[in-house]
Structures are given as structure tokens and as C-alpha cells.
Structure 1
Amino acid sequence: MSGGEDSRTASDDSRPDGGYGPENEPAVTGPGGREADRATDADHDHGLPDAASVKRWLVTTNHKDIGILYTVTALFFLIFGGVMALLLRIQLWTPGEGLLTAMSYNQAVSAHGLIMIFWFLSPFAFGFANYVVPLQLGARDLAFPRLNALSYWLYLFSGLLFGVSFFQGGTFSGGWTMYAPLNVPVYTPNIGASTAVLALGLFVVSVTVSSVNFLTTMHRMRAEGLTLRRMPLFSWTILLTTWMMLFAFAALLAALMILSSDRLLGTQYFAATDAGGSLLWAHLFWFFGHPEVYIVFFPALGVMAECFQTFTGRRLVGRKWFIAAMVLVALQSFVVWMHHMFLTSINLEIKTLFMATTIGISLPFDLMVFALIYTMVKGRVRFTTPFLFSFGALLLFILGGITGVFLGAVVLDYEFRGTYWVVAHFHYVMVAGVTGLFGGLYYWFPKMTGKMYDEFLGKLHFGLYFVGFNLLYFPMFVAWETPRRDFVYPEAFVSWHQLSTVGGFLLGASFLVMFYNLGKSAVAGEEAGGNPWAYSMTTEWAVPSPPPLENFPGRPSFASGMLEFRRESGSERPRGVEAADGGPAPDGGVADAAELESAGGHDHGEDHASVWPFAVGVASFLTLLGLSGLQRGGFPGGAEGGFYLATTAVGGLGLGWSLVRLAAERFRGPYGPFGESWPFDGVENTKLGVWIFLASDVVLFGAFVGSYIFIRVAHGWTDWHELIPAAHVVTPGLINTYLLLTSSFAVVLALVAAEKGSRWGLVGALSLTFVLGVGFLVNKAIEWNHLFHLHGGEFAGGWTPGTNVASSTFYLTTGLHGLHVIAGLFITLYLIARAWNGAYLDDERPVEYFGLYWHFVDIVWLFLFPLFYIL
């Protein structure tokens, strides 16, 4: 079935506000609603196999294909995590042990939380983001298509690695928050627990790669006239989400790297309870954890805003204030994390401060909620499936937000923390976001497939979903005294938990309806046309469904306040196309079908296929699977240890080879930018990508340095020296400081040589950089070897990473820096090899970008040297 009355073309007099004016979102004119609804397949001209072949999906770098891969994979993890949830609900039918043992229950609880939060929620949203955002921006693809593919494959293989953990003695069982000291091997000794931690770390790397790509694209690849102020609301939410992801996930990566070191190398960060290890984990985790709530909810908020506008026929009321509120929430999200720690030993004054920031962050959400409500009141609502899910998400989020206010108060949090009140509130907020995202799935399903879903089945899905959701979670508020993460609870709550279990299975059954509906519709559904919705005014609806390979029949421009497609060469006269709302195109012309069908055939030189992102994903999976077998820095003996050692070796070699081939591959990305790039007008795409990556790296090193300072203060700043041997002297660190500073100067010389066209000067300066970097590592190795093999005195057994917390912080922080140096040396070797053959003399930018990275590494050492050698 079609979308009912919304599949009709709207007349101007039926529009309550006359549409979206150029002062707000640019109005869209385009071929989306007429006879030119057919997307052409010019894939063979761009290195892509046919969409029906498996090879297509292994090598594609096109953003639309990657979006579909993200969406389908996220739905798989929805099933995976949902099965875990149903197991929990069966166990809770009556209090006490039942289907699952105590340990199995703990693993199911932990796996459910980790899978849903990391491998389903955000990736599901970014399936839409990958598909829709470049279309909304007027871009042909993301700025770095191969990085986009790499982010997907790292995501997929991180999830598969987590799945493997179940077969290694059991997965992680310490809860999705992984609180210390339960996260160290003393309490979770299974190899599978270490694998789960490594899998999560690989997922975070995927997120970082994706964040760099999206931020570069959204700041540098917008169409002419599409200023930030005019950008569609869904794209706005993705922009803010990726900025939050960039910094929040960097803090989580630091926590996971430290935890992996504790588990695999035997360091003493989180096991050191006397030095605040447990509190340190809570700070690191929740600095990520609370922004994660908004990282999950913001894309759903963008979907809701788009659906409210489309299905009420009204521009969002207070649009600029809505955007300002989102920006404010994104900033405030990093100053509220400690409200998750009200039950710790933090003093009352600080708790009171964070109670105030928690209440403060709720105020911008009030504005956003009222903006959505007023938009609905002032418009003419059309109760299609996407709108029903969006409206349902709003209702659920309001209830989740109100119940969250209780937890934001210190006194009430003492009572509610650790109970099912938290479970219910958490799901009313997080799954409210999921509800909105399912609205997005129905909203963009016609664009992705060219087919309409069955409207009756869509509404049936919503009815079962909404009833099942509330039947599942609302009784938890009533039975709130149930202890969290425990299957033993008072007999008085049996009926409420049984009601929740019925609701859980009803919620699960609703997805069977959804999968049947979408599967059947994708194969045999009604043709959707380019634009099945009456009032949809964003750019993706101005092209056929599904869009052609390179998205647009020309260069999109919003300079006039309306979408026009300008010619790629020759005259810049706008090529007019029929307006989506039936109005005239800017020049009165109408694009014919032949013009549109040639949209995918324009050869702009872009490539769309590369196998190396997939290869990097496979090699990363094998490398981390092998490393999971490490125990206190070594592999165990016997066949098991041999398997893990061999897997690490094969994966490591494959990873190195794949990265080299990825770097050496001749790949032409999308051209541009050709429009709005504020505030980075003078910064080239790759340079901006490097800067954004380094911003994330600042947070990573900041978390490591902050962890060192936190533990040292907790132990006693001056007492710290008692943990350090006299042999740990300043001289090696001072020598390394001189080596790195000199190497930075050598990089400057290399850039000057490239600018002057001096081939041998460039090769010589890069070679000097390499030699100085190797000298740094050799000096560091000599120092470490000496400390490892001390004789006599208190540290007669050597000062190793596991000796005490001081040695752990020293080796791990300087070791992280050393890994950055090693990565830089591999890049230097690559640059030397290419410079030897005459590269970079006519384009010195790669040398400049490498210099940014190398100077950053040197600057970091200028902080580490006094911290670990002098103070």
C-alpha cells in the first residue's frame, strides 16, 4: 500500500504555511515526484559489480551501499540482543534460578546491554546517516569513501569478535558498564571477557574513523548556498552527534585500552582499589556514557523533526531555537557525567554542582519537546507509519525524561540507584530513540528501495510495538524495588514481572511483522516514485528512488533558495527541473527522463570500489582474536597458546599488508567542495580530516594523563616516589626530548624541500626524521630493558608494567606514545619510498599533513617528559 493521502501531490493552497522558505530550509525543486522516478545502474563504469553479486557488497565504497549494510547489520544485532533480552524475561517469570545459571544470567545481562547500546543503536542511526546525509547536503559521496567502508567493516568484525567471546569460556559478565574491579581477570577470568573488551575497542576505532569522515564531509562538502543555518534538521543532528562521538568515544577508547592492558599485560590500574582504580573507571566510563545518551537520541530527534514537518505540512516551529537547544545539549552533555556517581565517595559540594548541571540540561529538551508539540498543533497531521513512530517516540521520551529527574536529585538517587526504576527510566529514554529510528526506517524505506511498504502492516507493527513496549517497561516503575541485574526479587512483584515478560514477547512479535512487511515490500511492493510524501522538502526527495550512483544530474545549488542542478562544464546556466510540490522550476524548464537517467552516467572520475577496507577488517579481527589469548604479557603453553600466537602473527602481517595496499591504491574520491565550507573555507579536506583526528587524539592522551594524575593524587603525590626505583633517571627522557625536537625540525626541512622541488633534499630530510625516530625508540628500549632487569634492593625482580601502579602508568602512557611514533615511522618509510620516485614535488600537501601528525606526537612528549621523569 502507499502512504495514503500523503502519496498525492500537494497543491499550494493546501499548505498551511506555504512551504519552507529560503530563510529557513531551502525549498527543494527536483525530479523526485514525477515521471523520472527510475534510477539507472551505471555501476559497471565505476568499478562496481552488479548489486545482485556478493562481491559488490564486499568492495563497495558508495555511501548508499554502506548505509544499507549498516542498517541490515544493525537489525541483525537487534535480533541478537533481543534474544538475550527474552532470555532474561523468561528467567524473571518467577524469582530465583530458572532457565539460566547465575553466571549465564550475568553474561546475558551484560551481552544484551553491550550489543544494544554499541552494536545496534548508534549503527542503526548511522545507516540512515550514511544513506541520507550526502543526499541532503548535495554531495556525491562522503569525503573519504574508503574510510566509510573501513568504518563499516571494523564495525561488523567487532561485532563478530564479540560473538566469538561466547565460545571462549563465556563472554564478559560484569554488566554493560564494566565497573571496576569486576572488569579485571580476578573476577572475570574468561578469555572471552578479554575478547569482549577488545571487540568494543575495535568498535570505538570504527566510530572514530566514521566521525572524522562525517565531520569533514558536513563542514566541507555542502552544496552552494546550503549554509549551516539552512541545513536540514536530520543533518544537523548527525553533525552534533558526530562531534560528541569524536570526543566521548576517545575517552572510552582510553578506558578500554587501559582495561585491555590490565587484562592482557597485567598492569594495575583498575585493580588498585587503594589508589582509586574503581573510581577512575567510573570517571572515564561516564565521561563517555552520558554523552552516549544524546549520541543515541539525537539522530532519532532528527528523524522526528523531519517526520513532524513532512506529515504536518508545517515548518518546525522555532527551528533556530530548536537547533540552538541541540547545540547547548551537546555542549552540556560533557559536564553532567558525575550524576551517575552520586553513590561514590565524591564530596557533597561536587555532587550538588552536578545535580544542578543535570537539571540544567533538561531545560533545552523542554524547548525541543514543545517545538515538536506546537508543530503538530499548528499543522494538519497525517497518521502514517513514520509519523506514528515519531509521535510515539515523543510520548515515551517525555515519560523517560520526567522519571529521570528523580535520579538527578542526590537524595532520591540514593534510594533509586541499583533498582528497576533505573532500568525502566533508561529504557524509556534509550528505546524512545529506537522508536524514532524505526519511524526513520519507514520514512526512508521508499527512497532506499524504490518500493512502498504496506501501510496496514506498518500501523499493525506500531500498535504491537507501542503496547508491548509499555507493557514491558512500565511495570518496572511499579516493581522498582527489584534489585538491578539480579533474578531474585520479592514475591510481591511476581505479577508485575510476568506482565513485563508478556510485554517483552509482544514487543518481539512486533518485529516479526516489520521484517515480513519490509521484506515482502522490497521484493513486490508498490513503486514508490521519487517522492511519495506530500510536503517532504529535503534534497533526497528530489532525485529518483533509489538514487543513481552519483546522486544528482549535475551540480546541486541552493544559491537561489531553491534546489537547482547546474551543468558540470560549459555554461553555468541552471538546468531547471519540475518542482516537487507541483510549482514551476526556477527557469521554467522540466528535466526529461533521459537527462535524469544519465545522472549516474556522468563520469566525474570517482571510484566506488576497493577491497582493502574489507581486508583491513578481516586482519583486525584475526589480530585481536589472537591477542585475546595473552595472559600477563605472554601466551600460555600448549596447543591453545600456539593457536593464539599464530592467529596474532597472521592477523598482524595481514593488517600491515592491507594498510600498505590501502595507502598505495590509486583511488579517486568525490570532487569538491564546491559550495559552503564555513568555518573551514581555507582548509583542504584531508587536512581538516587530520585536524579532526588529532582533536580526538588530544582527548585520548588527555584521558591517559588524567588517569595518571588521578591515581597519583589518590595514592599521595609525594608518596608516589616510593613506588619508583632510583634507576629511573632523567637522562633517557632528556635524550629522547632532544631527538624528537630535532626530528620535528627535520620534517619542516622536508616540507621546505618539497616546496622548492628538491627531490634529494626531501628524501634526505625524511630519512633524517626516520633515523631520529628510530633513535628515540632504541633509547626507549634500552631504558625499559634496564628497568625490567634491576638487581638488588626493593625492586630486585625488576620494575615491570605489573610491579605497581606507578610502573603501570609509566609504561602504558609512554608506550601509547611509542606506538604513535612507530605509526609515524611507517608513514615516513612510505613517504621516503614515494619521494624517491619523484612524488610530492608538485604537491607537497601529504608531507604537510604528516608533519601535523609528527609535531603533535612531539608536543605530547613535551608533556610526558616532565610528568614521568621530573615531577
Structure 2
Amino acid sequence: MSDLPPMTSVKRWLVTTNHKDVGILYIATALFFLLLGGVLALLFRAHLWVPGGTGLLENMEFNQAVTAHGLLMVFWFLSPIASGFANYFVPLQIGAKDLAFPRLNALSYWFYLFSGILMGVSFFQGKTFAGGWTMYAPLNVPSFNTVMEATAGGNATVLALLLFVISITIGTVNFLVTIHRSRAEGLGLWNMPMFTWSWLLTIWMMLFAFAALLAALLLLSIDRVMLTQYFSTDQGSSLLWAHLFWFFGHPEVYIVFFPALGIMFETFQTFTGRRLVGRKWVIIAMVLVAVQSFLVWMHHMFLTAINLEIKTLFMATTIGISLPFDLMVFALIYTMVKGRVRFTTPFLFSLGALVLFILGGITGVFLGAVVLDYEFRGTYWVVAHFHYVMVSGVTALVAGIYYWWPKISGKMYSETLGKINFAVYFIGFNLLYFPMFLAWETPRRVFDYSEGAQIYHQASTVGAFVLGASFLIMFFTLGKSLLTGPDAPDNPWEYSRTAEWAIPSPPPLENWTDRPSYASGRLEFVDDAAAATDGGVATGHEATAADTAHEEHADHASIWPLGIGLGTFVFFLGLSGMTPYVYEFIQGTDHPPEHLADAAVDPSITYPILTLLGVGILGVSLFKFGVEEFNVPETAIAERWPFGGVGNTKFGVWVFLASDVVVFGGAIGAYVFMRLHGGWDNWHLDTITMAGLFNTYVLLTSSFTVILALAFAERKNKKAMLGSMVATVLLAFVFMGVKAFEYSSKFADGHYWFSGIDYSIYFVTTGLHALHVLLGVLVALFMIYRIVSVDAYLEDHRPVEFFGLYWHFVDIVWVFLFPLFYLM
């Protein structure tokens, strides 16, 4: 399946891998989750009309609504709508025909959609997660006395977040490869459009920040499903979660805001008719913020027992990160002052975003001071500051919707309705959030407050409904445009500078008829077929370009990303209800832990069936995905600095492994942190040193057999390559057999993953590594099947090399785990 059905067909949207279609799917889905999160916000704001609540919600219902609102807005709306814009416009802005891996792009979307559906399903599994969107420990694990009460809904929420982060990781790898290796000829990094620049830095931050969150969620999901003890002990659990979460959480602020900032840069340039003032300095400032964002996370932890010297250091880094933002703000102001402003709808929303962000940034500086943070932390001052920053980003994203709507839809909208939309939005925003500064003594996430703050809360509630009405106006404006609006020209904005405005509205499937080039210093379109011929004879690398352009057909449709997404969703839904079975097993052991109190267990057979069904769907879909013929020609002529010598797939593997380093770093860091917190010498784990040493030799030998497989593939020696791959798999089975022996020995001695924090860490960390080994074995078995069935990898040995990179990484991780668990 490679040809796309028409856009009016439902099938089109189920099988498409085209970046523009995927972008539209992201934007539409994100707007749906905006509505869902917004309805929850209106619900609990109405509940807050009077102190103590109106009775509209019960206590736990209020907690669920507040928590789900935060999770939906931060994860399922803000980042994905920016990803939708990036999917649609980044390839257009850099002169690419699509993203580097179109099927993975579609897979990223389906993982995102199904993660949101899983989040929605959690409401129907007793109750959804109710511990706040930051999921602080120990509120993020089942309580000791009611371990079985409504566990499935909370599990589903955590697993939904886990699936969402996997989606983000796949998309991040795809964008990094595309931007670094598929830019049009002559388009250097410095000259990329500002939105693409903002997105490039965003995805570099995503790569590492979301990997840290992935590590935290893996530990949390295992705590909830398998009842390990990472976040349910008094040995530093709360502090461990805070470190892991906020190492992700503060870069997430900039991950959310950078795409909005990129839209502001684009719209300010377009509607002032002037190039951004200090453009290169702005880029440098953004790079500094991206780096510094990973050095400020502990300012969220000023109320913990961290010593004052460390707090003072992070106060300095927090204030320091505001300085590059000062430069960006002044650049936007000077661009506006020196240009001729056109107050269109996109510009009004961008200008509004700038004003709101300035107020949000100034109030955030208060929280960067340790002494003031002691007073403001956990109050509505934080709520107001947070929303003035994050929702100012939403304001710029709405500007992006209006700015690019003519290009996406091919229709113009009513400027009058757009400006009314902005006026209602801006009034509603400030009426909702500014009174929260005045009611700052109100504790956040609590529905009781002093009577003196009632007027402020009632004003906020009215503002919430006004802000909600502004989005209804936006949907009406865009719907009216789509149905009756005039056709949009290719470029409706007089001073727009980026490449997407140089092609029809909406763009054709392949984006470009001729190849875009900046080799002359400005955008031109080169006909490679004509340029590569001289009297009918094609010569040199231009002939390759012509052949690529006119002989290779790029595929745009595959059903298997949807299948993989569906299988993973069913599998995770099944896992969400498996905790009662684990609890039942624990109660059957000789020495169940005291903190797992006796409770009624009522496991449902539905969940094991769903788990097995999910594995089946996932297995079939992955196999079909692997054998499907799907052609994605690599751009023949492109700017690839600084990764010119590395192919797309190889670079993608390196980027993925970089994120996996952070995942294992989180797991190993948790081991070191918890062991230091409890006393390094108080570690009670008793491992079999010889078993670990033997497994080290086994894995190192398997790395050697993978190297042999690659060497034989290069020599086109099928039998020797096959034998080396089989040897690698057999050695992996030996490794897992030894691990199974170790685990069974522990079980025989009465030591399980739930027996204590030391055994939880041992089983989870080595189990995470074993999971990587298992995934490698499955890939190797598939490659063996391909070698036997179709003589694969003889003409193109690169897949063997890519598998080798992954396998060597897994072996290196074990080299670190061996001394930590067997020698120390």
C-alpha cells in the first residue's frame, strides 16, 4: 500500500504517512484535547465559586478534574499542537519533500492518539489519577492500606503518559535527522527560518528531557503494576521523584514555549515588514536557554531538605536563565519599533503573547529567590505565574493557527471575526489569571479558601468562561472560512519570507515540482532533469539527482503504523489492570511485605486477555511493518553539515541511543541516589558474582559475533553471516538463561522485587537491561528470517551495522551494571 486515497476518504487518514497530513492530524487531535481539558477546567472553576466548593464535585472528583486538566493541557495539547505545526511546515521551510522516516512519523502520531484515548479510558476504570499533574511521591503510588482500590485508572494514566513519551521520542529522532540532513542546497543552519530554529532546539531538549521522564515513568509504572518500592518508602522516594520529574519538568517549560516563540519571530517579521533585529544574537540566546534549561530544575525543590549552598547555586542559575529571554524580548520590541506594524489577527495574538509572557516572566523571578519561594510555593501565585507563561505560549500558537490557516486550508478567514476573537481571548485570559495573583494565599489544588478571596475566585471563574467562549469564536471563524471563505492566494502576507509561501495553497502532495535551492543566496527552483543533461546526456552527480527525482517513487501510505499503535494501546490497557494478580501472588508468598496490607482482591480476567491480544496485534503489525516495501528516497543534493558523512538511518540510531543513555542514566542514577540515601554499606543485596562475570563474557562475545556478521555481509558470504547472527541469538539466550537462574535463586531464598528497595532496584534495573536484550533478540530473529527467505543484507549490509550499534550499546550498559550490582 503506497498510493494515498483522496483527502475526503476516511481511509486516507488511517494510512497516510505524508508529513502534511500527519501535521493536520496532530493539530486536530491536540485541539480536541484542548476542549477536553478546558471543559474540566470550567467544571472545577465553577466548583470554586464559593469557599468550600459548590457541591458540584465530590472531593476526589475535584482532585481528578484538576489533575487530568493539568496532564491533558501540558502533555496532550501544548507540545502536540506545536508538533503539528512542525510536521506541516518544517519540511516546507527547509526544502524537504517529507520527513526522513515517514512511517515512523505516522507511528508517532498513532502512539500520541492512543495514549490520549488510554488517558480518557482511565476515567471509566474506577477513577483516574488524582495526585496532581506533577505526580509527587508517595501520592503517585497506591496507598498502603487501600492498595487495590481503583488502581487500574491510575495505572492507565501513568501508562498513557509512558506511551506519549515514546511517541515524543520517535518524533524527536525523525525531526533531528530531517533538519540536520535534508535542508535545501545552500540553506545553512544560521539561515534557517526562525520557526525551524526554535523547533530544532525544542527537539534537542525533548530528546534528553523526555528520556528522563521516560525513566521516571518506567519506574513509576513498575511500582504501580508490579508493586516495587521506588516511590513508596521513607528512604528518599519523594526526593528521587522530584529530581527525576523536574529534570524533565523545567526544560518542558521551554519545550512548550520555544515553538510559540518561533511563531512570534515569524509573525513579527511578516507583519512589521522587517527582518528580526539581532537575529544571530537571538539564536545564540535560544541555544543558551536550551542548555541552561537542564541546570535549573532544583529551584522547584527549594522547600526540600537540600542544603542552602545548593539552593543558592540554583537560585543563581534560575535568575541567569532570564537574561537570554531579556534579549529575545527586546529583539521583538525593536523589530516592532523599527518596522511598519500591520495589526492583523496573527500579529495581535503574537503581540498579546509577548505582553503576557513579560508579566509571567517577571512574576517568575520572584519564585527564583529562595526566601520568596518559601512564601509563594504551593499557592495561587505559582498557578498564576505558571499560566501566564504557559498560556502565553498558547496565545502565540493561536497566532500560528491564523497565520498558517490560508496555507493549510487554501481559504482566507474574516479579519473582523479574528480580531473579535483576540479581544475576547485577551480579556478572558487576564480576567481568569490575574486575580489569582491577588488571591495568592489560596493553596493550589484545594477547593477551600478564605472568604476575603471569594471576589477574586469568582472573577477567575467568569474569566474562565469568557476565555472558553473565545475558542468557540475561533472554531466558528475557521469553520466559516472553510465553508464559505474566499480562496487564499499562494502568499496572502506581503512580507512573508519563508519557503512555504512560495508554493500553492494548500501545497501539493510532493511539495515541490522542482528542487528548491538557496545556492545563489535566495530561494530558486532548479529543474534537475534539464540541468543534468547536455545534448540529452546526463553526467556526474547531477545525473544521480535527475534519476532520483524522476525514477524513484516515494511512498506515502501504510496501514501498519496504525496497527502498531492499536496493538500497543490494547497491551497497555491490559497491563493497567494486572496489579490485582500481582497482589494475589504476593499474598501467596511465605513473607509478604508488611506495607502491603491484606485487602480484598477481585482481579478481572478481561485484563490478561487484553494483554495477550495486544501482544498478538503488536507482533503481527511489527512483522508486517518490517517486511513491507516502502520507498523513501534520500535527498540527493542537500545541506548535511555537520552530519554529512552519516546516513539517515545511522544518524537516527545514534540519536535514539543518545536518548536511551539518559533512560539508563535515570535508572542507574536512582540506584546510586537511593543507596547513598540509605547508607552505601547498608545494602543487603546478595548477588552471585560468578553468574554476573560469566554473563559479562557472554555479552562481550556476542558483540564479537555481531562484528563478524557485518564483516561477512560486506563480503556477501550468506552462510557465514547467517551463522554469526544465529550465534549472537544463542549467546543472548545463554545470557537470559543465566539471569533466569539468578532470579529463581532469589525467589527460592524468599527475595522478590517487592521485598525491599534494594531488591526492587536490582530486579528493575537488570530487568530493564534484559528487556533491551529481548528486543535485540527479536530484531535479530527477524533479520535471520530475512536472510533465509530473501537473501537480505548481501547487497546492502547497513541494517546489520545498525543492529550492531544497538547491540554494542546493550553490552556497554551491562559493563556498567556488572560492577554496580555484583562487585560493590
* TM-score normalised by structure 1 residue count: 0.89
CA deviation profile, 1:232-291 (whole Å, cap 9, x unmatched): 000000000000001000000110010011111111111112x20100000000000000
In the TM superposition, residue 638 of structure 1 has moved relative to its aligned partner by 9.4
1:226 matched to 2:174: no
Matching residue within 822, 825, 828 for 2:774: 822
Q: Percent identity?
A: 65
For residues 633 and 481 of structure 1, the distance between their equivalents in structure 2, rounded to whole angstroms, comes to 44
Q: Say which SS state the counterpart of residue 680 (structure 2) adopts.
A: coil
1:777 aligned residue:
736
For residues 285 and 94 of structure 1, the distance between their equivalents in structure 2, rounded to whole angstroms, comes to 33
For residues 529 and 634 of structure 1, the distance between their equivalents in structure 2, rounded to whole angstroms, comes to 61
For residues 303 and 473 of structure 1, the distance between their equivalents in structure 2, rounded to whole angstroms, comes to 23
Matching residue within 288, 291, 306 for 1:346: 306
For residues 199 and 573 of structure 2, the distance between their equivalents in structure 1, rounded to whole angstroms, comes to 32
1:853 aligned residue:
806
Contact kept? 2:581, 2:603, Cα under 8 Å: no
Matching residue within 134, 137, 140 for 1:180: 137
In the TM superposition, residue 568 of structure 1 has moved relative to its aligned partner by 3.2
Name the count of aligned residue pairs. Answer: 790
Matching residue within 721, 724, 735 for 1:765: 724
2:444 aligned residue:
484
1:57 aligned residue:
13
Q: Say which SS state the counterpart of residue 24 (structure 2) adopts.
A: helix
For residues 366 and 286 of structure 1, the distance between their equivalents in structure 2, rounded to whole angstroms, comes to 24
Q: Say which SS state the counterpart of residue 516 (structure 2) adopts.
A: strand
In the TM superposition, residue 602 of structure 1 has moved relative to its aligned partner by 6.4
Q: Say which SS state the counterpart of residue 109 (structure 1) adopts.
A: helix
For residues 476 and 499 of structure 2, the distance between their equivalents in structure 1, rounded to whole angstroms, comes to 29
2:703 aligned residue:
744
Amino acid at match of 1:199: A
2:757 aligned residue:
805
1:451 aligned residue:
411
Amino acid at match of 1:71: I
Amino acid at match of 1:184: V
CA deviation profile, 1:383-427 (whole Å, cap 9, x unmatched): 000000000000000000000000000000000001000000000
2:820 aligned residue:
867
CA deviation profile, 1:279-319 (whole Å, cap 9, x unmatched): 00000000000000000000000000000000000000000
Q: Say which SS state the counterpart of residue 521 (structure 1) adopts.
A: helix
For residues 269 and 853 of structure 1, the distance between their equivalents in structure 2, rounded to whole angstroms, comes to 28
In the TM superposition, residue 222 of structure 1 has moved relative to its aligned partner by 0.4
In the TM superposition, residue 573 of structure 1 has moved relative to its aligned partner by 9.1
Amino acid at match of 1:211: T
Amino acid at match of 1:179: Y
For residues 691 and 731 of structure 2, the distance between their equivalents in structure 1, rounded to whole angstroms, comes to 14
Distance 1:384 1:127, change over 3 A: same
2:590 aligned residue:
none
In the TM superposition, residue 670 of structure 1 has moved relative to its aligned partner by 4.0
Q: Say which SS state the counterpart of residue 634 (structure 1) adopts.
A: helix
For residues 304 and 367 of structure 1, the distance between their equivalents in structure 2, rounded to whole angstroms, comes to 14
In the TM superposition, residue 767 of structure 1 has moved relative to its aligned partner by 0.6
Matching residue within 275, 279, 285 for 1:315: 275
1:441 aligned residue:
401
Distance 1:633 1:746, change over 3 A: farther
Q: Say which SS state the counterpart of residue 565 (structure 1) adopts.
A: strand
Amino acid at match of 2:255: I
Amino acid at match of 1:549: L
Distance 1:772 1:106, change over 3 A: same
Amino acid at match of 2:227: G
Amino acid at match of 1:55: K
1:7 aligned residue:
none
1:475 aligned residue:
435
Contact kept? 1:67, 1:129, Cα under 8 Å: yes
Structure possessing the higher relative contact order (Cα contacts under 8 Å, 6 or more residues apart): 1
1:145 aligned residue:
102
For residues 69 and 307 of structure 1, the distance between their equivalents in structure 2, rounded to whole angstroms, comes to 23
In the TM superposition, residue 137 of structure 1 has moved relative to its aligned partner by 0.6
Alignment RMSD (CA, Å): 1.5
For residues 332 and 40 of structure 2, the distance between their equivalents in structure 1, rounded to whole angstroms, comes to 34
Report 1:42-81 matches (<5 A): 47-81=3-37
For residues 603 and 515 of structure 1, the distance between their equivalents in structure 2, rounded to whole angstroms, comes to 43
Report 1:152-231 matches (<5 A): 152-186=109-143, 189-190=149-150, 191-231=152-192
1:629 matched to 2:629: no
1:693 aligned residue:
656
Matching residue within 638, 645, 649 for 1:682: 645
Contact kept? 1:724, 1:807, Cα under 8 Å: yes
2:538 aligned residue:
none
Contact kept? 1:162, 1:195, Cα under 8 Å: yes
Amino acid at match of 1:359: I
1:587 aligned residue:
none
Matching residue within 619, 623, 638 for 1:656: 619
1:102 aligned residue:
59
For residues 734 and 502 of structure 2, the distance between their equivalents in structure 1, rounded to whole angstroms, comes to 58
1:560 matched to 2:512: no
Contact kept? 2:688, 2:742, Cα under 8 Å: no
Amino acid at match of 2:222: S
Amino acid at match of 2:760: S
Amino acid at match of 2:565: G
CA deviation profile, 1:193-223 (whole Å, cap 9, x unmatched): 1110000000000000000000000000000
Report 1:178-577 matches (<5 A): 178-186=135-143, 189-190=149-150, 191-273=152-234, 275-572=235-532
Q: Which runs of 4+ in 1 moved over 6 A?
A: 635-639
In the TM superposition, residue 633 of structure 1 has moved relative to its aligned partner by 6.0
For residues 233 and 332 of structure 2, the distance between their equivalents in structure 1, rounded to whole angstroms, comes to 49
Matching residue within 544, 560, 564 for 1:616: 564
Q: Say which SS state the counterpart of residue 126 (structure 2) adopts.
A: coil
Contact kept? 1:567, 1:573, Cα under 8 Å: no
In the TM superposition, residue 671 of structure 1 has moved relative to its aligned partner by 2.8
CA deviation profile, 1:401-455 (whole Å, cap 9, x unmatched): 0000000000000000010000000000000000000000000000001001111
Matching residue within 81, 85, 88 for 2:44: 88
Matching residue within 787, 804, 807 for 1:835: 787
Distance 1:573 1:491, change over 3 A: farther
Contact kept? 1:125, 1:299, Cα under 8 Å: yes
In the TM superposition, residue 729 of structure 1 has moved relative to its aligned partner by 1.8
Amino acid at match of 1:622: V
CA deviation profile, 1:305-355 (whole Å, cap 9, x unmatched): 000000000000000000000000000000000000000000000000000
Matching residue within 104, 108, 123 for 2:80: 123
Q: Say which SS state the counterpart of residue 302 (structure 1) adopts.
A: helix
